[in-house]
Structure 1
Amino acid sequence: MFYQELEKIIETSDYDKKFELFYKLYENIDSYNFTSNEKPKIFEKPSYADFCEIVHPARVPRRRGFETDEKKAVLLHAIVHIEYSAIDLALDACYRFRNLPKEYYLDWLEVAEDEIRHFKMMNSLLEKTGYKYGDFPVHNSLFEASQKTQDLLSRMAIIPRWYEANGLDANEKIIKRLQKTNDPFAKEVIDALNVILKEEIPHVSKGDKWFKWECERKNLDPLKTYFEIIDSFFKDWKKKDLNVAARLKAGFTCDELKILSNKEINC
């Protein structure tokens, strides 16, 4: 029942209904059994496909400026989309990988609950601009990454330890950019982003924990394995302007950060 209900939640595109179903499952988590011999399905489309136009990343509206309601909405819509995608990704982490310790499922359901709250917070700000989720085209890079990571090791490496960790860097940059404007609305957005930044660190940390757990179970070296996976997914992945403090809190080592940035890191 646990996995069947998760499948229904993930595929539900009405997000109010999705959240209602999630909270019902989450409130009764102690009644579920996580043992299953059934093979999980690979989802063919993301749940937001029913109300968002999906385009190539190059065709997504550019986030430039904060002077008009439309420019504010473009930025907020992009963040709302990331938060919505993160909900389904956290749920899929529970759905796809079975017969693991109960702690694993509790971790990712907790992440899903946080992401729902983040989505609601940012969506409320978006709607203040007069726009709503689905008014701008979106890309499905995160969904495609989930399709390509059908084993626990690559999923933990690519989703939380790559994409969500990148979010720690991007969040900090957006906050710094918004701090340069005197718009009172920017302060509301900054306050929300600071909450998200603080709470996303434990999300990356959970990915770090279960990535290293799986490395230990398979007798693999975490550092070597991580970069082997990254190399297999991305051609040119050197990073700039890492949020070093946040990444260290999330479990990244100094050696990893030096490799990621290709420079000395003051840890």
Structure 2
Amino acid sequence: MRIRDPEQKIAAVAATRAALAVGTLVHDAEAPVTGIDEPGRPEAPELVHPRAVPQRSLSDTGGHVAFLHAVAHIEFTAINLALDAAHRFRGMPVAYYEDWLQVAAEEGVHFCMLRDHLANLGSAYGDLPAHGAMWRTALATGHDVLARMAIIPRGLEARGLDVTPGMMRRLAGFGDRPGALILERILHDEIGHVAVGTRWFNWICAARGLAAAPTFLDCLDRYLSDLRMPVPNIEARRQAGFSAEELRLLAAWNNSN
């Protein structure tokens, strides 16, 4: 997680996955956790307040590049989020760590696709400022794996399932078919990533004797109370493991303010 260079970080993820698969990396459930509050990232982009990030309208070339840069930053942040889920929480089954290392690897693929697409457009990751809101939200759930699974994969990342189809249409309408295809790949993989969050959220709820649907809404109220998330992509959320009760409660929660 502390590696700053994206290529080196992605290579380290691959090496860690391989070591876990062959048994040369041993998971020690009793080892103390050293929280990493500032994960490794390149010197650029500069992190600023979310309101200071350039507008992402696709009305011109500058907005097009800013839009893609913002998505690339989300995907790079997602590498660190997946690694933090694997690093921070002890006492989970080995499959949990395998799942999150796989997610980290796939987020790395997404980042590289967007980075290369920006290069084709004459830009680069780091040319524009970005913000760290997703990471700050993750830190707020760093004390509890249940809250982390609810808020990052099933909260913020699930929101991506709803908005990405519209983003794809906007890119295609701007004439960026390659960019739209990249987002199509990301959407496909992100359904699986949210499903990983669902699987482990449900597992933890069962282990603690908690009802999953109301517990999920309780987490939203605690950590994302100022955010409302319309859910137009019901089918994607179903594929990612959201239950009918959760979708019903989520719709009511969205309408509560």
- TM-score category, normalised to shorter length: over 0.9
1:141 Cα deviation after fit: 1.0
1:21 Cα deviation after fit: 1.9
Taking structure 1 as the reference length, the TM-score comes to 0.89
CA–CA distance in 1 between the matches of 2:203 and 2:152?
16
Contact 1:34 1:100 in 2 (8 A): no
Contact 1:57 1:138 in 2 (8 A): yes
Runs of 4+ with deviation above 4 angstroms: none
AA of the residue aligned to 1:14: D
Contact 1:238 1:261 in 2 (8 A): no
1:37 Cα deviation after fit: 2.4
| Partner SS for 2:47 | coil
Residue pairs, 1:70-89, within 5 angstroms: 70-89=62-81
The reply on whether 1:13 has 2:4 as its aligned counterpart is: yes
| Partner SS for 1:34 | coil
Contact 1:43 1:147 in 2 (8 A): no
Residue pairs, 1:116-265, within 5 angstroms: 116-150=108-142, 151-181=144-174, 183=175, 186-262=176-252
AA of the residue aligned to 1:231: D
1:111 Cα deviation after fit: 0.6
AA of the residue aligned to 1:258: R
CA–CA distance in 1 between the matches of 2:231 and 2:81?
26
CA deviations 1:92-111 (Å, max 9, x no partner) are 11101123211111111111
In the alignment of these two chains, the number of paired residues is 251
| Partner SS for 1:28 | helix
Q: Which runs of 5 or more residues in structure 2 are unaligned?
A: none
| Partner SS for 1:204 | helix
AA of the residue aligned to 2:14: Y
CA deviations 1:158-214 (Å, max 9, x no partner) are 110001100111211101222333x2xx10011111111011101000000000100
Aligned to 2:85: 93
Taking structure 2 as the reference length, the TM-score comes to 0.92
CA–CA distance in 1 between the matches of 2:52 and 2:32?
35
CA–CA distance in 1 between the matches of 2:234 and 2:116?
30
AA of the residue aligned to 2:52: R
| Partner SS for 2:58 | coil
CA–CA distance in 1 between the matches of 2:2 and 2:81?
12
1:49 Cα deviation after fit: 6.2
Aligned to 1:6: none
AA of the residue aligned to 2:201: F
1:144 Cα deviation after fit: 0.6
| Partner SS for 2:154 | helix
Q: CA RMSD in A?
A: 1.7
CA deviations 1:121-165 (Å, max 9, x no partner) are 111111112111111111111111121112110000011000110
| Partner SS for 1:47 | coil
CA–CA distance in 2 between the matches of 1:142 and 1:40?
21
| Partner SS for 1:135 | coil
